[in-house]
Structure 1
């Protein structure tokens, strides 16, 4: 198997596509990199409005500026983003967020905040070609005002939030934050001695075209979920589930499912007034609550129906909720479990049907490359193309569309794929473990979760 990866890796080094979306660290897992296509090959989005060479890695500057990308982050945030490559500026709005606006109050979040700032391309030599650099935009510190409070994002020049723009999608990192429960007096009393975490950026995936019709969700799916709980020292958990949705957005559990209840949402999806996505006010928890006194779920879930390569790509963001004493009730409501989920149709996948090279982010707070070839798969470092770990794919599919995977240490997991995206969960340490240089290097190495975008089919 290692010979296979070495051979394919060498072939990929010659391709200018792979490392175009690599590099950096991330805070939570989530899909970050755009699938590459050009012109009319971007099914369901169509060709860009202005002429773009067939070999281009991303749309023209005017096309990028004309699009507002709607998506979700692994931090549990729903975000809209516009980049203007002509003026080299950006505008970003948090439509839903559990991330504190300031450390002194964990319940006042970035929801409703709009920031503006400048962008710059990565420096020359940081990516293999000028074309790749032209598709990448580093978001400099942004500033905005919410409820009379001025907010400026933190910025680490060694690890800046970077957005890579492709045809129909934009992915990478949005501005991070410091989450300090001890900085909030009430939160510290309820959950003392919780370590503060600083995230340089949060991984993010967004679509230039989304569906606003719940009827497009109708069908059966496999879901891979990954959530963290800040008030439990950022405990992480991943889960696999099977769900079915009717044309009105009602969820049910299909026969023979591994789960007994819907895991992405328990109530009907309804159109959110803030944007072209959907919200459920009842978001199930997949982790034990950090305090049993506040164990009833109070968070919300948000559904984005991305349209990519002729497929509907459901992306679900769980946004944690904190309500302290004196803010609407005598009893605090705390459900800060937040995260992201990718859904893929419960349709059988054949060996070779999604072979290729992928780029994405994972629970190691790092960008990663992946190779899939039939029954063999592996994770590689994008910068060096060295294999970090390998896994075997089992296409038996007791649940159609849910591929079994086993790593070299015998740890089991699952993989799903849709529209040129894949999601993977393995109950073991993968891909070199948590990045040692990450601000979150003490975070647990398992479970492993990652999502990536196809950049080169085989």
Structure 2
């Protein structure tokens, strides 16, 4: 492998012995949590139980393929991933996706496409132990056939050897990056009949163009075991959202919300919430047949909807998709907003993104101490150290602290910690089941990696999700 790949991958996870947590089963056929380390009330309220020895960072090689990881990506995609560590192959299916199948177009998307390819470990000696190398998998370019038009889809064109899609397998969870894409669209010209006399001045203008931008990978988090009973998520939650809107010069936004769910999964706003409406869904969750997740046709926007000259705002067309991950005896909901654009139907709602929810229960100082690994809005693999009232983002290539932030445990909303970085930028942090999510209204860790930027790219807000790998 080229030296750039060796260095980039080796250091990207050198601090982290992978995503270790309780759990098991298969996301397409979920099974009850029955981990050897803990179960039920024996698991801590926050974070995983003691990690054990480095001899079992992930399932035995022959058993890794027994789990299929169902999860969400920051691209607004719902993904099912299986890695056969014996044959060194992978299969990845996009169940929902706003990402165009072909560069220069907006429809069809890669929803429903399954690709397969080979996986490779980081090179021998690149990581501190052989066990770490065994549990890390680089997704080399994969190919598949798109059922919607019969075309061949390949991820080869966007594969960056210095920053490739890579998945870290643990016990019950998989995280890292799935294949990215090259996105570009020149816009569309609606007919006079569609525009009507009020908007006739827009005739001949390319509407909602999207500037070219290449994404090395999209941050991903998946679960080996998921819950398909909405009643199990009943309760109050804090939610952290991160969305991106390509047609608005790739504008990004992050927000927090407090939401309550009843036994049927209906969302309401609890008393004293910072938000006035639910931001995860405005409708009813419906189980997706054979796919072990839920969907809603009413996906609230966090940004102003696309409009024409301020006279017409396109209605919501995106879907909200929810995966109820199971980890360490906890239900951890992920909400994925999947944007939708179809010029032929005069549909424009391309805001997409991901959110994590955590129970609205008090977090004591020190309860979430430890090291975490994951991927973030900078399109980098990251390491984070939380210790009492402070936290640090660690540069994996140098093992040195890159950005520091303070944690405020006063919790006006139980379970929602206030965050302030060294430059005074503020944000929030939540945690559940050994996972955490953070956003900060500032630039962290040097901003977005240059290979996933264009002239419209913003470095703020910062958003990341990680899994705890050490106490």
TM-score of the superposed pair, with normalisation by structure 2: 0.84
Relative to structure 1, the CA distance from residue 318 to residue 324 in structure 2 (aligned partners, 3 Å threshold; closer, same or farther) is same
Q: Distance in 2 between matches of 1:439 and 1:121?
A: 27
Q: Which moved more, 1:335-344 or 1:84-93?
A: 84-93
Counterpart for residue 339 of structure 1: 353
Q: Could you tell me whether the CA contact under 8 Å between 2:15 and 2:383 is conserved in 1? A: no
Question: What is the 5 A alignment of 1:190-201?
Answer: 190-192=207-209, 194-201=210-217
Q: Distance in 2 between matches of 1:450 and 1:305?
A: 19
Q: Distance in 1 between matches of 2:205 and 2:85?
A: 43
Q: Could you tell me whether the CA contact under 8 Å between 1:294 and 1:333 is conserved in 2? A: no
Q: 1:179 aligns with which of 183, 190, 193?
A: 183
Shift of 1:274: 4.8
Relative to structure 1, the CA distance from residue 125 to residue 290 in structure 2 (aligned partners, 3 Å threshold; closer, same or farther) is farther
Relative to structure 1, the CA distance from residue 274 to residue 289 in structure 2 (aligned partners, 3 Å threshold; closer, same or farther) is farther
Matched, 1:316 2:335: yes
Counterpart for residue 243 of structure 2: 227
Counterpart for residue 388 of structure 1: 402
Q: Could you tell me whether the CA contact under 8 Å between 2:15 and 2:396 is conserved in 1? A: no
Counterpart for residue 106 of structure 2: 106
Shift of 1:263: 0.1
Runs of 4+ residues over 6 Å off in structure 1: 183-188
Shift of 1:290: 3.5
Shift of 1:212: 0.6
Matched, 1:367 2:381: yes
Q: Distance in 2 between matches of 1:368 and 1:119?
A: 21
Relative to structure 1, the CA distance from residue 143 to residue 20 in structure 2 (aligned partners, 3 Å threshold; closer, same or farther) is farther
Question: What is the 5 A alignment of 1:232-381?
Answer: 232-292=248-308, 293-325=312-344, 329=345, 332-381=346-395
Matched, 1:417 2:419: no
Q: Could you tell me whether the CA contact under 8 Å between 2:13 and 2:381 is conserved in 1? A: no
Shift of 1:341: 0.1
Q: Could you tell me whether the CA contact under 8 Å between 1:43 and 1:308 is conserved in 2? A: no
Pairs aligned (count): 420
Residue by residue over 1:153-188, the C-alpha shift from the partner in whole angstroms, topping out at 9 and shown as x without a partner, is 132222221111000011111111111112777798
Q: Could you tell me whether the CA contact under 8 Å between 2:21 and 2:327 is conserved in 1? A: no
Q: Distance in 2 between matches of 1:156 and 1:447?
A: 25
Relative to structure 1, the CA distance from residue 165 to residue 226 in structure 2 (aligned partners, 3 Å threshold; closer, same or farther) is same
Secondary structure (helix, strand or coil) at the match of 2:326 reads: strand
Q: Distance in 1 between matches of 2:16 and 2:173?
A: 12
Q: Distance in 1 between matches of 2:313 and 2:98?
A: 17
Q: Distance in 2 between matches of 1:185 and 1:93?
A: 32
Shift of 1:361: 1.6
Residue by residue over 1:7-39, the C-alpha shift from the partner in whole angstroms, topping out at 9 and shown as x without a partner, is xxxxxxxxx9962659xxxxxxxxxx6245696
Q: Could you tell me whether the CA contact under 8 Å between 1:165 and 1:171 is conserved in 2? A: yes
Q: Distance in 2 between matches of 1:436 and 1:103?
A: 20
Q: 1:189 aligns with which of 206, 213, 217?
A: 206
Shift of 1:282: 0.3
Relative to structure 1, the CA distance from residue 188 to residue 276 in structure 2 (aligned partners, 3 Å threshold; closer, same or farther) is farther
Secondary structure (helix, strand or coil) at the match of 2:56 reads: coil
Q: Distance in 2 between matches of 1:336 and 1:251?
A: 23
Q: Distance in 1 between matches of 2:70 and 2:170?
A: 14
Q: Which moved more, 1:374-383 or 1:229-238?
A: 374-383
Counterpart for residue 160 of structure 2: 156
Q: 1:34 aligns with which of 19, 33, 56?
A: 19
Shift of 1:364: 1.7
Residue by residue over 1:245-268, the C-alpha shift from the partner in whole angstroms, topping out at 9 and shown as x without a partner, is 001010000011111000011001
Q: Distance in 2 between matches of 1:157 and 1:99?
A: 21
Counterpart for residue 67 of structure 1: 67
Residue by residue over 1:179-219, the C-alpha shift from the partner in whole angstroms, topping out at 9 and shown as x without a partner, is 11127777981124x31111121111100000010011111
Could you say what the CA RMSD is over the residues aligned between the two structures, in angstroms? 2.4
Q: Could you tell me whether the CA contact under 8 Å between 1:294 and 1:335 is conserved in 2? A: no
Q: Distance in 1 between matches of 2:137 and 2:455?
A: 26
Relative to structure 1, the CA distance from residue 418 to residue 359 in structure 2 (aligned partners, 3 Å threshold; closer, same or farther) is same
TM-score of the superposed pair, with normalisation by structure 1: 0.87
Q: Could you tell me whether the CA contact under 8 Å between 1:93 and 1:113 is conserved in 2? A: yes
Residue by residue over 1:95-122, the C-alpha shift from the partner in whole angstroms, topping out at 9 and shown as x without a partner, is 0000000124302001111111111111
Q: Could you tell me whether the CA contact under 8 Å between 1:249 and 1:269 is conserved in 2? A: yes
Shift of 1:391: 1.1
Structure 1: runs of 5 or more not aligned: 1-15, 23-32, 47-51
Q: Which moved more, 1:416-425 or 1:290-299?
A: 290-299
Structure 2: runs of 5 or more not aligned: 1-10, 24-34, 43-51, 191-203
Q: Distance in 2 between matches of 1:179 and 1:323?
A: 15
Q: Could you tell me whether the CA contact under 8 Å between 1:17 and 1:455 is conserved in 2? A: no
Residue by residue over 1:220-240, the C-alpha shift from the partner in whole angstroms, topping out at 9 and shown as x without a partner, is 000000000011111000010
